[in-house]
Structure 1
Amino acid sequence: MDEAPRVPAGLLGGHLRVLAEAAATGLLPDRGALDDYRVAGARAAESGVPLRALVESALMMAESVGSAPLPALRRAVSALMEGYENAQRLALRQEEAARREFVDDLLQGRADRLAERAEHFGLRLAETYVVAVARPARPVDGMARPARPVDGVTHGETAHGGVAEDMAPDEMAPDAMAYGAGPARRIEEAMVARFGSHNVLVAVRDGGLVCVAPGSLTVAPGEFTHHVRQMFAPGWRVGLGRPHRGPGGVVTSYREATGAIDLGDRLDLRASVLKAADLLVFPVLLRDRAAIEDLVTTVLSPLLQARGGPESLLGTLEAVFASQGNQTAAARRLGVSTRAVTYRLERIRRLTGFSPDDPTQRFTLETAVLGARLLDWPSHPLD
């Protein structure tokens, strides 16, 4: 007889007795015996015994019985495999829970054994890291969007009333994103395949997909963005923080990435990838709220007198600034005639006393318009 696979002594201690009783009585293993097999399967999984080795050992032991009935052996092996697989699923869920807890602690700056836990997930927190965050800019057609992330979400309803794919209950994280854990897992697998498991961390958090990568991997954020675009429907933004060192640097980069997306939403920016490094002027503006409110009030409040309100005039200014002063290009953006743009700019000049044709006044006007968007003016009047 061939040598039995290596299985811990005593793991299948009752196996021969069960088979012998089945051979003698013709009865199948009872519930208690099957439960013992499930426990043995779970212990084997926890001990790192390969499933194939466990099954081969059970089959080889059955050969020594000689007349062991096949139905009894089949039930025994099935119970062993069931216990083994249940233990594996439990271990995966525990690993996912530990991962989510680590990501939450990392991105919120809670430092309890952070470096030690980071090594388990392949991160060396003494290095410089960059954080990229992907999330929907606004509800769009075809994008799954549950009312809120909750435990036990099984399906995400799309804008068309359909069901998002890859939304099986055992795949969903407690803060399950609209798109489910399946696509997120595929993005992580693609990133790990290219950069290695010790270089990237991809996780679902706060309705967004987060990617943490070393600053030395300059192509990693672009690769992440590529997979987000490939995996999900249009309407997603990716915010990219700046490189920062250490655990606190990860927190800073994450906040910069989410802040870039927030600014893109507030300013209605068209870009799908927003770099915090390109938007540094906006936090500067917001640091002195009193000054920006005074600028908006002084420069733009006369537009409130315009017939139909100030929105069309503000939109015209934004289009002109985005077109580097080219009124024809601005007209195309707005879907109006060039003459209409010229007329609106003249109205702005008459009402405010500022003209975008003058370099100094143009800067004042553009800063005021940006401030208005940041403050959601005129929808929210300033004191």
Structure 2
Amino acid sequence: MTKSARRADPAGARPEDAWLVEVARTAGVDAGGVPVELLGDYLRLLTDAAVTGRRPRRGELDAVGALGRHAAEQGVSAGRVVRLYLSAARRFWRELPHLDRSTDSETVRAAADAVLHVVDTAVATLAEGYVVARRELVRREETLRRELVDDLLRGDSDLGGLVERAEPFGLDLARVHQVALAAPSRRLPDTDAAISALERVIFDRLGDRDVLVATKEGLLVVIAPADALPVDRSTGDGGSVRNLGRMMHAELDRLARGRPWQVAVGRPHPGLYGIARSYEEAREALATARRLHTDSPVIDTHDLLIYRVLLRDQPAMVDLVRAVLTPLSRARGGAGPLLGTLSEYFASGEVATEAARRLHVSVRTVTYRLDRIRTLSGYDPTDPRDRFTLHAAVLGARALDWPRQPLPT
């Protein structure tokens, strides 16, 4: 019998040792159907130890470590593969033929010590190989996930290739998805805790299909199906934007690092290019919120659509602010108080009493400032014909951070 022929046996046993084959088979059953090929030459090592006291060589232990890596690559759990080895050792010792005929306690004790040494070193080496392989698999999966997310957010990759790459992650690109971005207050030294927290809550609510959580340029990225989110009948979009953002922020706010977090969610769009479009909306929303000095924890892209329109033609917006609002700089105290009054006046539905309450001033002060605005600018905040121009100019000034910053030339 050649060495290669002996290794072909799933239990690593010699053909004349049929009982070892049965030991391997029953150990595999005990471990929940783990392939007995993962035992390799383990039973032969136990036999040599029991009969001659020989300890495993380095090369033999390396082969056991390779079997641990192979088990991880096959998706066998660590607990099951360790149970396979322990069950095989227990059944091996119980069925060991020459011990049944031995009456020498020293012989039995020496055999037990040698066998336990093999079990100890083999299982430790097996577990070490398993851990190394799992670590490599996680790193490889993380790299593939990050590359997939980058290509999905860029939106210019090969569609067929992306569909094939997305399938192992459970992502159906035919569904309607939306992208959420979470920005920490400062760069995190380690994002693993934040990713784990998000995965825990999102997978619990939405399941692990059609959801990807990753990082990109210092931001946490979540790609989620819009139709899997809970419905909020108070919002026109079914609440998917606000609900996803609130869910993410509530979980991230529990973390010790990164607070205060700010979350922006793009609108739902269908198909592959819809993911890239939703991402651009979320990224632009975060950038706009920073320009506006908005401290809202969850940013709804619907609320910032007007700023997207204004910012796309910045020269026209600068002209509007300069023509309509810069005359307010001649007021005592500058344009700031008058501009703040206008902003709250429009935000309160043009109700002077509500604007006064928000500003913590009297109603008389609000009406006086509105009169000053009409006198200095020539536009009347209470006149429907001037209201739109003034409101657009106020929004433009906020986007340009005027008067805190000078207008671009």
- Taking structure 2 as the reference length, what is the TM-score of the superposition? 0.74
User: Where does 1:140-289 land on structure 2 (aligned, <5 Å)?
Assistant: 145-146=186-187, 153-154=189-190, 180-217=191-228, 219=230, 220-233=240-253, 235-269=260-294, 271-289=296-314
- Quickly say closer, same or farther: Cα 1:331–1:71, change in 2 above 3 A: farther
Q: More displaced, 180-189 or 111-120?
A: 180-189
Shift of 1:336: 3.5
- Quickly say closer, same or farther: Cα 1:360–1:267, change in 2 above 3 A: farther
1:4 equivalenced with 2:27 (yes/no): yes
Identical pairs, percent: 45
Shift of 1:255: 0.9
Q: More displaced, 9-18 or 301-310?
A: 9-18
- Which residue of structure 1 lines up, in the alignment, with residue 181 of structure 2? 133
Shift of 1:252: 0.7
8 Å Cα contact 1:349/1:355 also seen in 2: yes
Aligned length: 346
- Which residue of structure 2 lines up, in the alignment, with residue 362 of structure 1? 387
- Quickly say closer, same or farther: Cα 1:33–1:92, change in 2 above 3 A: same
Q: Which residue of 94, 98, 115 corresponds with 2:144?
A: 98
Counterpart secondary structure, 2:224: strand
8 Å Cα contact 1:211/1:224 also seen in 2: no
- Quickly say closer, same or farther: Cα 1:50–1:200, change in 2 above 3 A: closer
8 Å Cα contact 1:191/1:223 also seen in 2: no
Shift of 1:42: 0.8
Q: More displaced, 71-80 or 205-214?
A: 205-214
8 Å Cα contact 2:244/2:265 also seen in 1: no
Q: More displaced, 323-332 or 244-253?
A: 323-332
Q: Which has the larger radius of gyration?
A: 2
Q: Residue 102 of structure 1 aligns to which amino acid in structure 2? A: L
Counterpart secondary structure, 1:280: helix
Cα distance in 2 for partners of 1:270, 1:317 equals: 20
1:36 equivalenced with 2:63 (yes/no): yes
Write the deviation string for residues 43-73 of structure 1: whole angstroms up to 9, x where unpaired.
2222334434433443354353652422442
- Which residue of structure 2 lines up, in the alignment, with residue 335 of structure 1? 360
- Which residue of structure 1 lines up, in the alignment, with residue 125 of structure 2? 79
Write the deviation string for residues 67-116 of structure 1: whole angstroms up to 9, x where unpaired.
24224421221111121122122212211221111111100114141111
- Taking structure 1 as the reference length, what is the TM-score of the superposition? 0.78
Q: Residue 177 of structure 2 aligns to which amino acid in structure 1? A: Y
Q: Which residue of 353, 376, 379 corresponds with 2:378?
A: 353
8 Å Cα contact 2:180/2:221 also seen in 1: yes
Counterpart secondary structure, 2:325: helix
Query: Which 5+ residue runs of structure 2 have no aligned equivalent?
Result: 1-21, 97-110, 231-239, 254-258
Q: Residue 146 of structure 2 aligns to which amino acid in structure 1? A: R
Q: Which residue of 88, 94, 97 corresponds with 2:134?
A: 88
Q: Residue 130 of structure 1 aligns to which amino acid in structure 2? A: Q
Query: Which 5+ residue runs of structure 1 have no aligned equivalent?
Result: 140-144, 155-179
Q: Which residue of 152, 162, 171 corresponds with 1:123?
A: 171
Shift of 1:370: 0.8
- Which residue of structure 2 lines up, in the alignment, with residue 158 of structure 1? none
Shift of 1:299: 0.8
Cα distance in 2 for partners of 1:54, 1:368 equals: 69
CA RMSD after TM alignment: 3.0
